Chain A
Amino acid sequence: MNIIYYLPLILIFLASIISIKYRSSGYILSAISSIIFIVFTYKTFDYLTYFYLIAGIVWIITSIYSLSYGKNYGKWLAPLFILTIAGMMTILYANNFFVFIAGWEIMSVPAYLTVAINKKNDIEAYVFMFFSEISTILIIVSAILSYYYTGSLTFNKINNDYVLLIFTLGAMSKMGLTPFMISEWLPIAHGSAPANSSAIFSATMTLMGVYGITKLALLSPVSEIIGVLFMAIGIISVMFGALYAYISENMKSLGGFSTIENNGTLLSAIGLYVAINNNILRTFVLISILIFAMAHSIAKTGLFLTIGNTGTEYFSGVSENNGILNQVGKFFILSSLSGLFPGLGGLGTWMILESFFMGAFLQGTIGISSIIGGSLLAMGEGFATAAMFKVYYFTDNRNNKKNKNSLETYTIFSTGALLVFLFLISFLLIGKEYISGIPNVLIFNGFMIESRFSSVDFGLLSPLYIAFIILIFTLLAYIIFGKPKTRSVKRWNTGIENNEIYNSFIYSSNIRLMLKKILKTHSGKNELETVDVFWYFMIRTASSYRKLTKYISYKIMNSSISTYMIYMIIAFISIIVIVSLY
């Protein structure tokens, strides 16, 4: 057993312990171990290892951000935060179900605690725990099934797709996708944690689900039915996630909804991957999933950091105007999340949509579902753009001045810059078979990405060329027209001063009113309220769930921190035992 290979894992657990006493050292060590993790695990070229890269980048960003941000929270935040990362790292190290499940629990339990400690009210933590434990149970079931079919707990090729289906259901519960309260629990839970934890919950915890599903999808046979099912679930999640993100007033829950939307996109792409039998297209879809996941995770981290930087949870509470660095970083993060160039998200969205539209050529059920799916995904992206613009505009309070650049600002800026950088070098991340060039129009060989499902290319994109064109045209416009000439005159508001401020709620009221039927908009006691239809249908079940979880927690967990701690210690010991066994 190569101890060096497991060095990052050991370091991160060590960081978790150190951080109980020395907060900053813990965060620094966690960042260092993440760097080592990237270097050590990225040695072999395999598309799955992209997940390591993605997770590592997010951990580094959040750890550095926490150095400054974490000051505002109690001493428990650092160890819990780092322990969550340790759990995820365990998942990524896992090559059998047992370690995977152990990591899954080490990741989840500190997360409930973070939420429980942050909020006075325990209910968010219980909700979070409930849905996470459902996922754990389902994953255990899939592990047993896998053992039944293959005779081993190691990840092996499986001949049928039950394991994939059950595992995906479990992961979906964690990712907050459609049947599992599309919009309620995940935004509530993610929105109730401190921003750095929200970031890793949204960006990497759900990524672990995607990782697991992708891993099993690679091992499972092609299945049209399961593929289309995944696509349908994914697309419904995209539509509703984006819609609810748009009308959300709580910034962190907006981030949570956006996560659902992105995870929906990923799941539907995995569905496409599972459904099709064309190897060239399959590989392209796989790369799309990875690029999109990378863009989503990094940008989502950036989104939560941006939100955390405002120091409040609701748009209405935003009181400061951010500096230029922050705004530039924010712009690239949000444009990436909106699926626009020149962020990596633009490329990810392009690749996913290309995959779906190429699927149309396969004809039959797949052809029809993929063309419909592609169009709906594109529509969801439109909503997402509106939601992201809301974040961009309303996280600045233009009436007030600020603000000195802090470490947080630099982290946000670097996250934005990283997304652009990754976009520019994205041709390096994609397999050679999809790279070419057209030297006639100055796109040199090796700089152009081709989407294809056969030997002939379907679509073309050159990130550097796009960046070049944007730059040239901006400069040209500047040179020709100079600085924009504006003339400010007194405004005329039919004779009197207007005191009304255009706020985020009114920004999204159009959709509230237009989609009255879906959102069940009505004038509530205090404001224009919308009802989440899923919540609307599930409210009764949910309330009985709540009673049950409360009962369980009172009887078994007794809702005391010490019980959680014992539970965590057991999980911790079990992982050490397992690691030493191998």
Chain B
Amino acid sequence: MSQWFLRGIKKGIKTEKNFKDKYKPYYPSKLEGKSDYNCPVNAIKNGEWDENKCIYCGKCDLNPTKDEKIYKINDAMPEMFKKSFYIYPLDSGTCGACNAEFNSIFYPQYDANRFKIFLSNTPRHADALLLMGVYTENMHDVIKNAYDAMPDPKVIIGFGSCALTGGIIGSSINEKFNVEIAGCPPSPYTIISAILKYKGDIK
């Protein structure tokens, strides 16, 4: 046991205090510029770019900026969540990338726990239901059950373009989301800054 303890000590702190710009991914990030590309998901309409619809394939002429702030906050966070925010992720029909990216916010580099963001193992203890993936028939009832099992107040977070708009794969879960985190899949930078913004920790 002690060998692991010493190992842990020896490695030092690996959590990054400020996000290193260097590692921010190009895709997905805020896109800039103009394009008349015939977007397969209709993310570009009349020159307007829709971050929720975009699947960040990089085929159009818009340029990635490495700016991770691609999210929308639709209402104020209930005051009681500010001290601790428990999230229950629910996979409706993902490709697996969203699941992996959401889990990665708890990896040492990001360590979301320090921002008082936690993972819940059951919706009954959760403050937020984080939905990802496209709508699938069989998961419809499961999502409903999970939402019903959550105590009030509760919020729903839409995660990734599949959940928000259906992306390129299918149709959206079609819920009203309190927080919309865009990206295909949303990078950990986006996820953390979205939740921090929702918590009011950053402007």
Contact = CB atoms under 8 A, between A and B. Distances in A.
A492 B141 CA distance: 12
Contacts of A490: 145, 148-149
Nearest to B125: A492
A495 B148 contact: no
Nearest to A495: B142
Contacts, number: 19
Interface string B17-55: 000000000000000000000000000000000000000
Chain B CB count within 10 A is highest, among A489, A490, A495, for A495
A491 B145 CA distance: 9
Contacts of B122: 492
A496 interface: yes
Contacts of A495: 141-142, 145-146
The number of chain A residues touching the other chain, given as a range, is: under 10
Nearest to B150: A492
A491 B148 CA distance: 9
Interface in B115-129: 122-124
Chain B interface helix/strand/loop/mixed: helix
Which range holds the interface residue count of chain B?
under 10
B149 A496 contact: no
A489 B141 contact: no
B149 A489 contact: yes
B124 A492 contact: yes
Contacts of A489: 124, 149
A490 B141 CA distance: 14
Interface string B134-162: 00000001100110110000000000000
Contacts of B123: 492
A496 B141 contact: yes
Contacts of B142: 495-496
A145 to B, nearest CB: 70
A66 B149 CA distance: 51
Contacts of B148: 490
Interface string A470-505: 000000000000000000011110011000000000
A489 B149 CA distance: 7
Given A495-B142, A496-B142, 17 more contacts: A489-B124, A489-B149, A490-B145, A490-B148, A490-B149, A491-B149, A492-B122, A492-B123, A492-B124, A492-B145, A492-B146, A492-B149, A495-B141, A495-B145, A495-B146, A496-B141, A496-B145
Interface of A: 489-492, 495-496
Top-10 shortest CB links A-B: A495-B142, A492-B149, A490-B148, A492-B124, A490-B149, A495-B145, A492-B122, A492-B123, A495-B146, A496-B142
